[in-house]
Amino acid sequence: MKRLFIGIPIESPKSVRQVEVWKRNSHFNRNVLNWTSSGNWHITLFFLGNTEESAVVGLQQLIEESFCGIQAYNTELFGVGVFPNTKNPKALWIGLEDLQPLMSAYSKLGELLQQNGFSFDQKPLKPHLTIARVKRADHLSAFQTLLSEHKETVFDQINMSKVVLFESLNTPDGPFYKPLFIKQLIR
């Protein structure tokens, strides 16, 4: 079994620098957070979980079919937020300004996954880049300050140029997301 998800890798040196500033903020870091390695930054489209290894080739075909003919495009990393809410934050994220150019392919892939017997979370897609998991939130005011200061901040312009089938591997240094298949979008 492989623990799989389909996502879009995110590279943003400007956002990495901003997150490094937050990591050094003594007021904010009275909370306990596990920061996501920037090498693992991605937008999750579908989390498939434990999947038979034999299904990987079929998943590649479904991704290829769904995203065939889709153009790469630029969008912005925009604003910050928490899930599920500011009273009980579990994840700190940076938002994505626009996923609309991929929505038809996303919907098609969802339909194909269902038709082919794959199960996944049916919640509506809320595109975001998880930058930290909150282990303990002792100072909620620090989250509220961060959110209010950066609610409208544009962190970077990024290129959405590929969709990837990832395997999530647990390592002693934390999770590692290994690309199993990369679908390049049209440039």
- At 36-59, the pLDDT tens digits run 999 999 999 999 999 999 999 999
Res 29 pLDDT > 90: no
Quick check: pTM over 0.85? yes
Beta-carbon contacts of residue 172 (< 8 Å; ≥ 6 apart): none
pLDDT at 159: 97
Q: Tell me, what CATH number does 144's domain have?
A: 3.90.1140.10
pLDDT at 23: 94
β-bridge partners, 73: 160
Residues in the chain, how many? 187
CA distance 43 to 134: 18
Res 117 pLDDT > 90: yes
Count of structural domains, the chain: 1
Domain ranges, residue 27: 2-184
Tens-digit pLDDT profile for residues 57-83 = 999 999 999 999 999 999 999 999 999
Res 27 pLDDT > 90: no
